[in-house]
Amino acid sequence: MLQILPFRFRFRGRTRRLLDLYHCFTEHPGTGLHPTQLSRHTGIGFAEVTRCLDSTPELFVRLPKRSDGITRYRLTSSMAAQGEEEVARYLARAARRENLILYALLGMLLCLFVIVALLLTPALA
């Protein structure tokens, strides 16, 4: 719907998926996981897992490719050091911020329509 905007909502509507990915990484500490492994453990589709991992560098970091060419991901050190409640609060705060941005954009669009209606009303009368 809002694909024409120059930015993408990374957290809005995805907090549960991101938290599931976080739990998967905490269940396998110290190891880099491939998106296929994460997809199997969480039940989320491979494409969605890859999109979530690539779009949120605050949470997940891509490890350098090994000799076998497989790309793996890990939690960032700041997220690995935080507890589950702190990560959940971070995700909720980021999603709330994105909601406010969306509401602000919708409010500006509504004001634009009101201004256009006010300018056209005297011409139609």
Is residue 4 scored above 70 in pLDDT?
no
Per-residue pLDDT at 124? 81
- For residue 9, tell me if it sits in a domain: no
65: left (phi over 0), alpha (psi -120 to 50) or beta: beta
Predicted confidence band of residue 69 (pLDDT cuts 50, 70, 90): confident
Answer whether 19's CB lies under 8 Å from 90's CB. no
Answer whether 72's CB lies under 8 Å from 32's CB. yes
Tokens 């005297």: give the residue: 122
Answer whether 13's CB lies under 8 Å from 54's CB. no
Predicted confidence band of residue 67 (pLDDT cuts 50, 70, 90): confident
Is residue 111 scored above 80 in pLDDT?
yes
Tokens 């050190």: give the residue: 77
- For residue 65, tell me if it sits in a domain: yes
* Number of structural domains the chain divides into: 1
Q: Which domain holds residue 34?
A: 15-124
- For residue 39, tell me if it sits in a domain: yes
Q: How far is Cα 23 from Cα 20, in angstroms, rounded to an integer? A: 5
- For residue 1, tell me if it sits in a domain: no
- For residue 10, tell me if it sits in a domain: no
State the CATH number of the domain containing residue 115.
1.10.10.10
Is residue 59 scored above 60 in pLDDT?
yes
